[in-house]
Structures are given as structure tokens and as C-alpha cells.
Chain A
Amino acid sequence: MTNQVNSPAGQHPDADEPAANGTNRTNGTNGTVPDGDPAAVHTPGKSASAKEVRRLDRVIIRFAGDSGDGMQLTGDRFTSETASFGNDLSTLPNFPAEIRAPAGTLPGVSSFQLHFADHDILTPGDAPNVLVAMNPAALKANVGDVPRGAEIIVNTDEFTKRAMAKVGYDVSPLEDGSLDGYRVHEVPLTTLTVEALKEFDVGRKDAGRSKNMFALGLLSWMYNRPTEQTEHFLRTKFAKKPQVAQANIAAYRAGWNFGETTEDFAVSYEVSPATTAFPPGTYRNISGNLALAYGLVAASHQSELPLFLGSYPITPASDVLHELSKHKNFGVRTFQAEDEIAGIGAALGAAFGGALGVTTTSGPGVALKSETIGLAVSLELPLLIVDIQRGGPSTGLPTKTEQADLLQAMYGRNGEAPVPIVAPSTPADCFTAALEAARIALTYRTPVFLLSDGYLANGSEPWRVPEAAELPDLRVQFAQVPNHRLDDGTEAFWPYKRDPQTLARPWAVPGTPGLEHRIGGIEKQDGTGNISYDPANHDLMVRTRQAKVDGIDVPDIEADDPDGRAKTLVLGWGSTYGPVTAAVRRLRRDGQHIAQAHLRHLNPFPSNLGAVLRRYERVIIPEMNLGQLATLVRAEFLVDAHSYTQVNGMPFKAEQLATALKEASTDD
């Protein structure tokens, strides 16, 4: 499920949560309980402690605590252990915009959800099988997502009267029977951690802070995760403070041992490696922003152009800036500008000089960059605009996901200013999408939007590391000599004399003798590039710029329609790929015929899109906005697409989406 390029759902093996036909499952679980109790089979215990070990095909864990409790780190570590174990996985970090929201409050809750399986999975999962709640706020904020029968591990130390009152618990939820349907493990995590660290020269408060590592150790025991890596990680992270490293490792081991010895945890679980889900190769776990940053470095390498990033810090895009700033030995220049406008301005200036110019931002930053994007359209220089979408409008929801910048990317400029748009579908796909965006920018000499989002940016999944030979050749030819003979026979350089095939103009970089030329945002004469206010010329230039973008070569879209009997097509774009595919699998498992197609290129659309849409009686477009792709599709193809939308800052849940698709596809 990882590094598919230009591929709709159909290229995936038919497997999901739960799988369509059980081929990928290691047990014969009743598939009608999609996200609840992970059905288990009893296997002979083989743990040294002789505790029972059950085998599961997949598990969803959610760590939740205060934003200062280190839940993201805990989740990352569990993810890393799980990745190296060979499970397929998908993650969903979810945290507040405030760095340290008031402790113990509902707005301050930070969580990390991880779905891992012995087969190919597509989403971070709908509902957790295990919730780790580090305090009353974390319990209250998350228990609603947890199905009855699931396990809840609570840190009882934090369930003081005052802490409970802070989130509106008059009576302790641990005592009032409200958790009766759950398998609750009451664990005094803080006390146990402090106890475990009493040998160390750390104060009670500092010792207590390692409770997340205790929790990690406990969960690592419960799911038989390898531990060596995490211990190595802690040693490296705190290399300069060996005492802290030792304390954290001790807490981690204590958590493991607690699971091993205490009677409260009678069972541990095994989720086998997802050996059949992955084609052969070398794998790693990767988040969307990291994959995107690597994609940019790879694009620089493959184009043999120096990478220049002009950027201004903004959530959730800053990690791309952070990452690229580490790779100066690849010739990567990162420029933290005074504002969003300067970020893109500097990138465009670098592009004029022959660099691969990139700017990274989120929706509010795109709004500020719009005028410069228009200039790039007019200058016809390659430029990548990376928009990691977040909830809007205005400041909106900085740490939550949304897909509501599509129309901004499409139309958010003055004048007729077409810009190609590429959207990755999964975290790992951000790598290939970045290369694809660079290909278009360099080939057609145009700014290109790369529309990722907060869900892809922070989510992670296994990625098959590509071999060098698999990467595209992105080398470009700068103009070297005059390209036009004037009437009097002299040779001249015309900066807007186009390639007849691509309509791209020549890229002549300063330092090339004889090709001195001036370009600007004022309308220019076709060919010469000189200022021109001629009406007919303007009409020609507007239409030519549009024709260039319309003519970009993008792969055809393929509808995944296994038996060819579907009457309904679900069309997605960007990060809805996982949930949409998962939902479609559920419907097919229930005997429904439904087709799926996924768009990577939003501008221009694949040339066969209209034909594909018209093959189906009904087209449903799920989006995390109020129907922006549906609007485009309706306008472009006169197809009466049904829109299914959600803007709650979270990705679609597969089950919910499946229900909605089922209703929409049967409703007349």
C-alpha cells in the first residue's frame, strides 16, 4: 500500500480492514465487527511467563495524554518498533495548536493513534482497541471513540478529585460504572514509574515524567514488540545526559516487566509481520512531510539542479523546512524568509538563476503568496508551491487536516493564471508526488502546486525505499544559444519562443552570454517577451498559457472495478485515498459492486477522466471540504456528481464512509 505511483485503487491487492475474502487474514474472524474487538484466536502460550498469547490480525492503539506527557514521542516509538517488526501500519497523530495548553484540560489533550496489522491496511483505523489514558481529560476526550469491549489503560495517579473536576467528572468514571462495558486496567503509572526510578538520582517530579516510557514498555509487552530499538533510541537521544537515558530505559523496562508479572494483564497479543502485503524490497517507516522533503532532495538530485527552499514557518508545513535544512551536503539551500511572500519571492529569484525553487506553506501562506504565483505564471519559470493544507478559513485549525485549498490552488489568483496541481494520496506517496510536481514544473516551465495535508504530513506508513534506477530523469536543458533569426539575418534570443510540443519557453539563466533578456509581470509580446499592450497579443498569450497547462502530459486515470458490474464510481483525490479504499473494500466484502478511482492530477485532469466518469450511472466524491472537486468535475464534465463531505479536522473514518457510500449508491 505504500509507494504507488499514479495508481488508482485497483492496483492494490484486495485486502483491507477487514479483508474482503479473508486471504490476508491469519484467522477466520467474523468480519462483521469492523473496528471493535479485534477478534482473537487462542494460540498456545509461548511466552516465558506462560501467560496466554493470542494472535490478532490487526490492532488499533491510541495513546492519549496531556500535551506535555510525551504522547507523540510514545506513539512514534511504538510505531518504530512496529515498523521494524514488519507489520503494515498507519498512524494518526492528533494534537492541539497550543504548545502547552493548560494542563489537564480537554483542549490540552494530545493523542497518537496507530493501526498495525499482519496484512495490507489503508487507514489509521476508526476506533481503538486499546486506549491509554494518561489523565481524566485524555479519558473524557477519547472514550467516545472507543467501542465497548475494548481495553482502556488509565493512569489512576492522575484521577484526583481536582483533576476530574477540571474536566467535569463529579464522580470518578472509574467508580460510577460508566466504564462497565470496557476492560479497564487501572494502573498507577506515575507511582510505579517513580518507584522504578528510586535508585536513580532524579527527583520525584522528573521521575514521574518518564511515565510515558513506562506506558510504552507495558504496551510493548502486550503486543510483543521488539525493545532493542527503543532502548537504543533513548541512549542516543539522551547521549549527553546518560542519567536521563538510563532512567527512561529503566521506566521502559519496568513497564514491560509490569505487564509480564502483574495478574491484571493476563494476555498478551501477537500480530504477525505482514509478509504478504509487501513486495520484496527494503522498507522503512516514513511520514508524509519527511517523504515530501526527501522527494524534493531526490528531485534536485535527478534534475542536477541545486535545491533552494524559501519558506516561512507555518503549521503543519514547518517540518519540511526543518528536514531540508539538515541536508546542506546535498547542496540544499534553505532560506527562512521574513514572511510568506519573501519565501516564494526568493524561491522564484533562485529559479530565475537556474535553481529548483521551492516554497513550502499551508493555506494562509498560499493566500499571501498568490501574487507571486501569478508572477511565476507570467514569467513561466519552474517553481514548486507545497501547500500542506489545514483547517480554514483564516487561521482555522492549524494542527487539523482539511482539503479545502483545492479551489484556492486552482483559481486563487488575479487574471487567468492556470497552475498545475498534484496531490499525494498517502504519506509515503508524498515522495513520488514531489518528483512528479518537479517533472511538470521543469518540463513545462511553470509553477506547480503540490497539495498535501495535515493528515498525510504527520501520518506515517511503511515505505519501500526506491532504488536509484527507479527515479525519473528530470534533467533539463538550459538555453545556450540564440533561438531566432531576425529579418535582417542577425541571431537573437527570444525568451518567449516556445517549444512547439510542450509550449514551454526556453530557460536561459543569467551568466549565459548573448542571451541577456528581461522578463516581467507585465503582458509581453509573444516570442520577444517585450512589453506589449496589444489586445490581440494579450488574448493570444492568455490562451497560450492556458493551453500549455491544459496540454501537460498526465497519466490516464484507471477505475478499479473488479467485476465490471459497478454502477457507482467513487472518485477521490489526495489523502482520502486510504479511507475511500478501505470503505470500498468493506462494501465489496458485503457484496456490493462499486468502482473506485483516485485523482493525483487535479489540473489538468487526466484526459480520459470525463470518459471514465460517464461510464457510471452515479459518481460520488468524498472530500474533506464542502465539495470542491465535485464543483470542478461538474463544471468540466457536466457530470452530476454527488458530493459527500466532512470538515471536522479529521480524516474520514472507513466505516462511516462505507455507510455513506452505501446510502448514496443505492439512493435514487
Chain B
Amino acid sequence: MTETTPESRQSEALSLVPKAEAAQSMKDFKSDQEVRWCPGCGDYAVLAAVQGFMPQLGLAKENIVFVSGIGCSSRFPYYMNTYGMHSIHGRAPAIATGLASTRRDLSVWVVTGDGDALSIGGNHLIHALRRNVNLKILLFNNRIYGLTKGQYSPTSETGKITKSTPMGSLDSPFNPVSLALGAEASFVARTVDSDRKHLTSTLQAAADHHGTALVEIYQNCNIFNDGAFEVLKDKQQAQEAVIRVEHGEQIRFGAPGEDGLGSKGVVRDPATGDLRVVDVAEEGTDALVVHDAHADSPTTAFALSRLADPETLHRTPIGVLRDVRRPVYDTDMNTQLEAAVENHGKGDLGALLAGNDTWTVAG
């Protein structure tokens, strides 16, 4: 695999999408529809971040499409003044795949939730990631079913008491980042609704990525699962709970140590190959793992994703975990079409219909 810089990826991911003729503002991306999420919902923050970030891309907004499934977050396209489709439960990645495969001049975004993407639409999600179609998937994870009023979701912690699980849920949750890495995703990131700056930079990285990008956005449902991510948001707790990863930087977190950086770090256990957390003061910095989002192998990214405790969310990695270059489905599909024309000439309908075995009946 050739090493490429993020800059070259950027140009490739969006190279076929026409640019805006004039400077854009956030207002250009707001539709005339009243936003109808519950007051205080984390979705508002994500919507504002996306609307605020879109002008940075500088793309003609008629060439931007948002496709969603079903769920609270899937109302998203109605609020974007771009092209959009609010489809059916779980199917947005499939629909977006057809659109992105035929229209490489579009910037296609999928908006989905934990139920939409990981339960009813799990199959489409993993296959979109595997194919690496040029689309960006924003997975709003609130660890609960909101639109159906509060059942547990495939990312809810085990034992969760909800309307449908009065004695506690029995199933183990998915870790969406681990799942995406296992599904051969070429870009996987995680961010949080309340961190506008991090959210925006993650969206930018996703937009620059050529291929399918999965961005898991932890999003608070203040009605049915309020505070689910508090541990990551509360400044004090977040020091221990959040592991921010940056490409090329040592992985450190926790209260600042002597050098002003995190007092904890991540090292590889030579015996198991797994990652573990150490006190930097005790172990020094030499053995600390340097985050490589562009590593060919997803192994370290996967190990990083497993540091998170599914119950408490302690040691949750945030940031771009993986960003690699690999063949892009719609690009290759187009290449095959071009090669077919090159090898066999442009299709001749008359010749096709006649075939090689004909006979003539004279008049």
C-alpha cells in the first residue's frame, strides 16, 4: 500500500464534486423546515456542527446529498438545504451505495442511529464498509431507542432496564468502532456531540477520506437515556475516561503528568500483543504506542477500541482510529465501465440484439 498524505486523499475524495461558485455560510445549509427534535437533544448540536462545517468544504450544495434511515437522527436530511432522502429503517447505506456508485459528482452522507445502523440495518452497514463506497456515514449513538420511546438498543449496556427489559437487558452491546474495524472499514472515527471543535475536525477528516468513512457520534438522548456519556463530558471524569488519539502522537491520557501531558499511557504487552494502560511516571515514555491511523493492519486500532469498558465507558478512545487508503468501489466500478468501452468499443445496441446466430427470412 502506498503511503499518502491526507492532502492527496482530500483532493481525490471530492475531486469530482463541483465547487461552490461563491462563499457559503451556515445559513445556506439550513432548510426552511422547523427542527422537531426534543428540546435539549444532542442532535441539535450535531446539526449545528454539520451546517457550520459544510461551508468549509466549499462544495456546490446541490451536489451534496443526505440519506437517512428511520429514527430520531434520521430526520436530519429535512433540516439540510441540500438534496436529501429520508428512507426506511436500516437501508440508508444501501440506498446511498446506489446513488454514490452512479453519481461520483456527489458528496453523499448517510445519517443513521445505533438502532438503524447496528440492528435492523447491520448487514447494510458492514457491507458498505467492506465495499468502501465513497460515502460518509454519521452514526448517532445514544445507546437507546428514542423514536419508539425508550427500548434498549444494540449499544445499550448489558442489564439496562427499559420498557422492554424490566428486569434488565440480556444481550452484550456492540462496540461500533470494533465492529467497523472488523468489517474492513477504511476510515473509523469517534467523536462526541458536545465537543464542537472535535466533531468538526472529525467531520472534515471523514469528508477528506476517499471511501466509506464511519463516524460514530456519541449523542445524548436527554429523554430516554440522559447522561449516558456524562463520564466523557464531565471535565474531571473525562480525564480518566477519554483517550484522545491523534495520528503520529503517543497515546496518553489522564491527569497531566510532569511533562504536562497525560499521566497515563498505552503500551503494547509483549506477551500477548494486546494493549494495556500504564502510569507514564513508572514506565517512562519510550514504550508508549504512537497512534498510526494509516497503519495497514487494523490490529492496533482494534486493540485500542477494546480498551473501552462497555459498561462505564472508561478509557474510551476518541478521534480518528483508522484512515487508510484502499480501492474505492464506485471508482473501480467506473474504471471497469471505461475498460469495457476501451476493450470492446462503445455498446452497439443493434449488434447486441442480433448476436452471432441469425437467419434471414426474405420478404
Binding site for B on A (CB under 8 A): 80, 83-84, 86, 229, 275, 278-285, 294, 297-298, 301, 306, 308, 310, 327-331, 333, 335, 337-339, 341-342, 345-355, 357, 371-372, 374-375, 379, 464-468, 510-522, 530-531
Chain B residues with CB under 8 A of A522: 86
Binding site for A on B (CB under 8 A): 18, 31, 33, 60-65, 67, 77-78, 80-88, 91, 94-103, 105-106, 123-124, 127, 333, 336-337, 339-341, 343-347, 349-350, 352-355, 357-363
Closest residue on chain A to residue B91 by CB atoms? A345
- Measured CA separation A306–B101 after assembly (Å): 11
- Measured CA separation A298–B60 after assembly (Å): 33
- Shortest beta-carbon contacts, A-B, top 9: A520-B86, A346-B98, A349-B98, A330-B347, A345-B94, A280-B363, A328-B340, A349-B95, A342-B94
Tell whether, in the assembled complex, residue B127 and residue A516 are in contact, meaning their CB atoms are under 8 Å apart: no
Contacting residue for A282 out of B64, B96, B358, CB 8 A: B358
- Measured CA separation A349–B349 after assembly (Å): 26
Chain B residues with CB under 8 A of A530: 33, 78
Chain B residues with CB under 8 A of A372: 88, 91
Closest residue on chain B to residue A375 by CB atoms? B88
Tell whether, in the assembled complex, residue B61 and residue A310 are in contact, meaning their CB atoms are under 8 Å apart: no
Interface-centre pick from B62, B78, B354 (highest chain A CB count, 10 A): B62
Closest residue on chain B to residue A84 by CB atoms? B359
Tell whether, in the assembled complex, residue B333 and residue A333 are in contact, meaning their CB atoms are under 8 Å apart: yes
Question: If A329-B346, A346-B95, A513-B60 touch, does A282 touch B127 (CB 8 Å cutoff)?
Answer: no
Tell whether, in the assembled complex, residue A531 and residue B78 are in contact, meaning their CB atoms are under 8 Å apart: yes
- Measured CA separation A335–B133 after assembly (Å): 12
Chain B residues with CB under 8 A of A294: 352-353
Question: If A327-B347, A468-B350 touch, does A518 touch B361 (CB 8 Å cutoff)?
Answer: no
Chain A residues with CB under 8 A of B103: 353-354, 510-511
Tell whether, in the assembled complex, residue B361 and residue A335 are in contact, meaning their CB atoms are under 8 Å apart: no
Chain B residues with CB under 8 A of A354: 102-103
Tell whether, in the assembled complex, residue A329 and residue B344 are in contact, meaning their CB atoms are under 8 Å apart: yes
- Measured CA separation A520–B80 after assembly (Å): 14
Tell whether, in the assembled complex, residue B85 and residue A520 are in contact, meaning their CB atoms are under 8 Å apart: yes
- Measured CA separation A519–B363 after assembly (Å): 54
Chain A residues with CB under 8 A of B82: 516
Tell whether, in the assembled complex, residue A329 and residue B340 are in contact, meaning their CB atoms are under 8 Å apart: yes
Distance in angstroms from A55 CB to nearest chain B CB is 20
Interface-centre pick from B102, B124, B127, B333 (highest chain A CB count, 10 A): B102
Chain A residues with CB under 8 A of B359: 83-84, 86, 282-284
Tell whether, in the assembled complex, residue B62 and residue A512 are in contact, meaning their CB atoms are under 8 Å apart: yes
Further contacts, 14 of them, CB under 8 A, given A280-B362, A338-B94: A84-B359, A279-B361, A284-B357, A329-B347, A330-B347, A330-B349, A346-B95, A348-B98, A349-B97, A375-B87, A512-B62, A516-B62, A516-B82, A518-B80
Distance in angstroms from A234 CB to nearest chain B CB is 15
25 contacts across the A-B interface (CB closer than 8 A): A283-B359, A284-B359, A327-B352, A328-B341, A330-B347, A331-B337, A331-B347, A333-B333, A339-B123, A341-B94, A342-B97, A345-B95, A346-B101, A349-B67, A349-B98, A350-B101, A352-B99, A353-B102, A353-B103, A464-B361, A513-B60, A516-B62, A516-B83, A518-B84, A530-B78
Tell whether, in the assembled complex, residue A298 and residue B337 are in contact, meaning their CB atoms are under 8 Å apart: no
- Measured CA separation A285–B358 after assembly (Å): 8
Tell whether, in the assembled complex, residue B361 and residue A283 are in contact, meaning their CB atoms are under 8 Å apart: yes
Contacting residue for A298 out of B67, B102, B353, CB 8 A: B353
Tell whether, in the assembled complex, residue A338 and residue B124 are in contact, meaning their CB atoms are under 8 Å apart: yes
Closest residue on chain A to residue B36 by CB atoms? A531
Question: If A80-B357, A86-B361, A282-B360 touch, does A379 touch B85 (CB 8 Å cutoff)?
Answer: yes
Question: If A331-B337, A346-B97, A357-B98 touch, does A520 touch B87 (CB 8 Å cutoff)?
Answer: yes
Chain A residues with CB under 8 A of B97: 335, 342, 345-346, 349
Closest residue on chain A to residue B329 by CB atoms? A335
Distance in angstroms from B264 CB to nearest chain A CB is 41
Question: If A329-B341, A465-B353 touch, does A349 touch B360 (CB 8 Å cutoff)?
Answer: no
Question: If A335-B101, A511-B62, A516-B81 touch, does A342 touch B358 (CB 8 Å cutoff)?
Answer: no
Closest residue on chain A to residue B68 by CB atoms? A520
Chain B residues with CB under 8 A of A513: 60, 62
Distance in angstroms from A359 CB to nearest chain B CB is 10
- Measured CA separation A280–B82 after assembly (Å): 54
Tell whether, in the assembled complex, residue A283 and residue B358 are in contact, meaning their CB atoms are under 8 Å apart: yes
Question: If A280-B363, A297-B349, A465-B354 touch, does A329 touch B84 (CB 8 Å cutoff)?
Answer: no
Closest residue on chain B to residue A283 by CB atoms? B359
Tell whether, in the assembled complex, residue A333 and residue B83 are in contact, meaning their CB atoms are under 8 Å apart: no
Tell whether, in the assembled complex, residue A510 and residue B62 are in contact, meaning their CB atoms are under 8 Å apart: yes
Tell whether, in the assembled complex, residue A298 and residue B349 are in contact, meaning their CB atoms are under 8 Å apart: yes
- Measured CA separation A345–B96 after assembly (Å): 8
Interface-centre pick from B61, B65, B358, B360 (highest chain A CB count, 10 A): B358
Tell whether, in the assembled complex, residue A310 and residue B98 are in contact, meaning their CB atoms are under 8 Å apart: yes
- Measured CA separation A465–B355 after assembly (Å): 9
Closest residue on chain B to residue A325 by CB atoms? B336
Distance in angstroms from A488 CB to nearest chain B CB is 13
Tell whether, in the assembled complex, residue A352 and residue B346 are in contact, meaning their CB atoms are under 8 Å apart: no
Tell whether, in the assembled complex, residue A468 and residue B349 are in contact, meaning their CB atoms are under 8 Å apart: yes
Tell whether, in the assembled complex, residue A515 and residue B346 are in contact, meaning their CB atoms are under 8 Å apart: no
Question: If A282-B358, A283-B361, A466-B353 touch, does A371 touch B77 (CB 8 Å cutoff)?
Answer: no
Tell whether, in the assembled complex, residue A465 and residue B358 are in contact, meaning their CB atoms are under 8 Å apart: yes
Tell whether, in the assembled complex, residue A275 and residue B98 are in contact, meaning their CB atoms are under 8 Å apart: no
Tell whether, in the assembled complex, residue A350 and residue B98 are in contact, meaning their CB atoms are under 8 Å apart: yes
- Measured CA separation A342–B77 after assembly (Å): 20
Chain A residues with CB under 8 A of B101: 308, 333, 335, 346, 350
Chain B residues with CB under 8 A of A346: 94-95, 97-98, 101
- Measured CA separation A80–B83 after assembly (Å): 51
- Measured CA separation A229–B341 after assembly (Å): 29
Chain A residues with CB under 8 A of B77: 518, 520
Interface-centre pick from B340, B355, B359 (highest chain A CB count, 10 A): B359
Closest residue on chain B to residue A281 by CB atoms? B361
Closest residue on chain A to residue B342 by CB atoms? A329
Chain A residues with CB under 8 A of B123: 338-339, 342
Distance in angstroms from A248 CB to nearest chain B CB is 19
Distance in angstroms from B17 CB to nearest chain A CB is 9
Distance in angstroms from A127 CB to nearest chain B CB is 28
Tell whether, in the assembled complex, residue B352 and residue A84 are in contact, meaning their CB atoms are under 8 Å apart: no
Distance in angstroms from A177 CB to nearest chain B CB is 44
Chain A residues with CB under 8 A of B94: 310, 337-338, 341-342, 345-346, 349
